[in-house]
Amino acid sequence: MLRDPESFSAFLATLRRFVRERLVPNEAEVAEADEVPAELVAEMAAHGLFGYSIPEAYGGAGMTTEELVLAAMELSQCSVAFRARVGTNTGIGSEALVADGTDEQKRRYLPKLASGEVTGAFALTEPEAGSDAVALKTSARREGDHYVLNGTKCFITNAPIANLFTVMARTDPNDPSARGVTAFLVERGMPGLSTGPAYRKMGQAGSPVSEVHFRDCIVPAANVIGGREGQGFKTAMKVLNKQRIHLAALCIGPAIRMLDDAMAFVANRRQFGQALASFQLVQAMIADSQTEIHAARALVLDTARKRDEGIDVTLEASICKYFASEMCGRVADRCVQMLGGYGYIADMGMERFYRDVRLFRLYEGTSQIHQLNIAKRTLARAGWSDLGA
């Protein structure tokens, strides 16, 4: 749903200009320094990039799902590091609060997340609990007016620079199921919280990711999201359901950009006396990429609109994430191919996208987990939910 189509399209035009004029020219420098410079972070904050999905009452733009995915498709037409810098605040690092936080929690934290003063992170994954997130072991023991957290989270985006962590921990040691899990808001500076060094990664230089450690970490009972134990996994699933549509949109921007760059290359480079773009086998790679980008865009917009209408899109969100992330990987591969040897050379930028987008198929549910989810829900819709072991 677009609340005001005219002003939203003006907003998208401004965002497009900002991406082209301020972010794209700084891509190589960010990759080299492995950091988004503070002055660009300040510019992104001034453009309101940190607050897209946070309600207006708390200083954000209060975007609908359709508006959020349209903005995401524009913002992601540059190096992934930029949108990853703001992405935890507009996604997994704020959404638990938006969905299930108490009024007091929202008032306390959301304005700072919306302005970018605070960077959020979402800490679910553990060394022994990846795809099987319900197996998480981080414990939270109540002692009077606070909880004591112990455990380790791994692969947490923005953890090295985050000030606020949404943490899933087990409050009921006797319940190994999802019902034993509670969501906490843990501030950097609360005693017993520390973060590890940033991992060295395949791609997404400039987007720091690390472990988070809890050693007798003291968290006030007032920081249980929603104020109730045992609701954490439900909250996490709400976060991920919306985020899967958002992430699918964030896979479309890089695909558009890679195809644009590859077309500019094949239109200019000549072999056998003619432009590469005039060869039909090269055109096939353009056609397949453009077709898949269009399909992903239509799928994501349709799902976003349904979510805005209040329709349950759990199945569709999984389809979006699975299709768009795999699509982006295929487009990246074709675009490297179109550049020939130059596709393999770092200065050209295409190999950076190729490495950066590989992560999309791994996090927020691997492709295999989404395949399982899609099949399970499709069978259930057809009345085949009880197939036995």
Ligand X SMILES: Cc1cc2nc3c(=O)[nH]c(=O)nc-3n(C[C@H](O)[C@H](O)[C@H](O)COP(=O)(O)OP(=O)(O)OC[C@H]3O[C@@H](n4cnc5c(N)ncnc54)[C@H](O)[C@@H]3O)c2cc1C
Query: Contact with ligand X (CB under 6 A): which of 152, 369, 374, 377?
Result: 369
Is 366 a binding residue for ligand X by CB under 6 A? The answer is yes
Is 58 a binding residue for ligand X by CB under 6 A? The answer is no
Is 156 a binding residue for ligand X by CB under 6 A? The answer is yes
- Integer angstrom CA distances of residue 388 from 123, 142, 375: 34, 39, 15
- Residues between 192 and 231 with contacts to ligand X, criterion CB under 6 A: 201, 209
Shortest distance, CB of residue 357 to ligand X, whole angstroms? 12
From the number of C-beta atoms within 10 Å of its C-beta (0-12, 13-18, 19+), residue 353 rates as: buried
| Rounded (5°) CA angle 38-63-76 | 50
Size of the site for ligand X (CB under 6 A): 19
For the chain, list the strands marked E by DSSP.
120-123, 139-143, 146-157, 164-170, 181-187, 193-195, 209-220, 270-271, 274-275
CA distance 336 to 327: 14
Query: Contact with ligand X (CB under 6 A): which of 66, 359, 360, 373?
Result: 359
Is 374 a binding residue for ligand X by CB under 6 A? The answer is no
Q: What is the dihedral of CA 244, 246, 249, 255, to 10 degrees?
A: -70
Beta bridge mates, 214: 151, 193
Is 363 a binding residue for ligand X by CB under 6 A? The answer is yes
- DSSP code per residue over 103-148: HHHHHHHHHHHHHTSS-EEEE--BTTBSS-GGG---EEEEETTEEE
Stretch that binds ligand X, among 65-73, 153-161, 188-196, 220-228 (CB under 6 A): 153-161
Stretch that binds ligand X, among 51-59, 72-80, 316-324, 360-368 (CB under 6 A): 360-368
Beta bridge mates, 218: 148
The sign of the CA dihedral 109, 92, 187, 157 is negative
Is 322 a binding residue for ligand X by CB under 6 A? The answer is no
- Give, as one character, the DSSP assignment of residue 53: T
Measured from the CB atom, is 167 or 259 closer to ligand X? 167
Query: Contact with ligand X (CB under 6 A): which of 50, 155, 184, 265?
Result: 155
Query: Contact with ligand X (CB under 6 A): which of 362, 375, 379, 380?
Result: 362
CA distance 210 to 180: 25
Stretch that binds ligand X, among 5-13, 69-77, 252-260, 357-365 (CB under 6 A): 357-365
Measured from the CB atom, is 64 or 125 closer to ligand X? 125
Stretch that binds ligand X, among 140-148, 244-252, 346-354, 361-369 (CB under 6 A): 361-369
Beta bridge mates, 147: 142, 219
Is 250 a binding residue for ligand X by CB under 6 A? The answer is no
Shortest distance, CB of residue 373 to ligand X, whole angstroms? 10
Overall residue count recorded for the chain in this entry: 389
Alpha carbon 388 to chain centroid, angstroms: 35
> Would you call 364 a catalytic residue per the annotation?
yes
- Residues between 117 and 146 with contacts to ligand X, criterion CB under 6 A: 122-125, 130-131
Tokens of 62: 């209060």
Measured from the CB atom, is 75 or 121 closer to ligand X? 121
Is 152 a binding residue for ligand X by CB under 6 A? The answer is no
Is 375 a binding residue for ligand X by CB under 6 A? The answer is no
Measured from the CB atom, is 19 or 124 closer to ligand X? 124
Query: Contact with ligand X (CB under 6 A): which of 14, 177, 368, 385?
Result: 368
Residue burial 273-285, b: 16+ Cβ < 10 Å; e: rest: eeebbeeeebeeb
Measured from the CB atom, is 131 or 268 closer to ligand X? 131
Q: How many CB atoms lie within 10 A of CB 183?
A: 32
Measured from the CB atom, is 64 or 231 closer to ligand X? 231
**Catalytically annotated residues:** 364
Q: Which residues bind ligand X (CB under 6 A)?
A: 122-125, 130-131, 155-157, 201, 209, 359, 362-364, 366, 368-369, 372
